[in-house]
Amino acid sequence: MRTEQFFRCLADQKRINTILLIWHSQEVSLFQLACVLEQSENSVARNMALLLKNNIVIERRQELDRLYRINPELPRWAYKVLKHTYIGNKHILEGQLLPLEDGTENSATHL
């Protein structure tokens, strides 16, 4: 992974919020991200494509859902950057986490 590309991926608040939510939840669907971030699924999918292309997140399919998590094979330095970004910015997630933590399938009804 090129350092420059890694930081370019983090140079967007929507992608940072996405990474924070994935880090917190460990694994999250495209639908959940779109609901919690109040963005269209297409918008989230475009950001996820960039994060996937740069190996920051990985995707797995479960039936019709696409589930995302932080790539466990990130270089150590990149993992530490994401970890400290999460620790220093958890407050951004306040008020956004309830839909992911309630365990319901259609989290949009709880926004």
Instruction: Report which secondary-structure segment, H or E, holds 103.
Output: none
Q: pLDDT digits over 38-79, tens only?
A: 899 999 999 999 999 999 999 999 888 889 999 999 999 999
pTM: 0.80
Domain tally, the chain: 1
Q: Would 107 be classed as within a structural domain? A: no
- Domain hosting residue 77, numbered range: 3-100
Q: Would 50 be classed as within a structural domain? A: yes
b/e code 5-34 from CB counts within 10 Å (16+ = b): ebeebbeeeebbbbbbbbbebeebbbbbbb
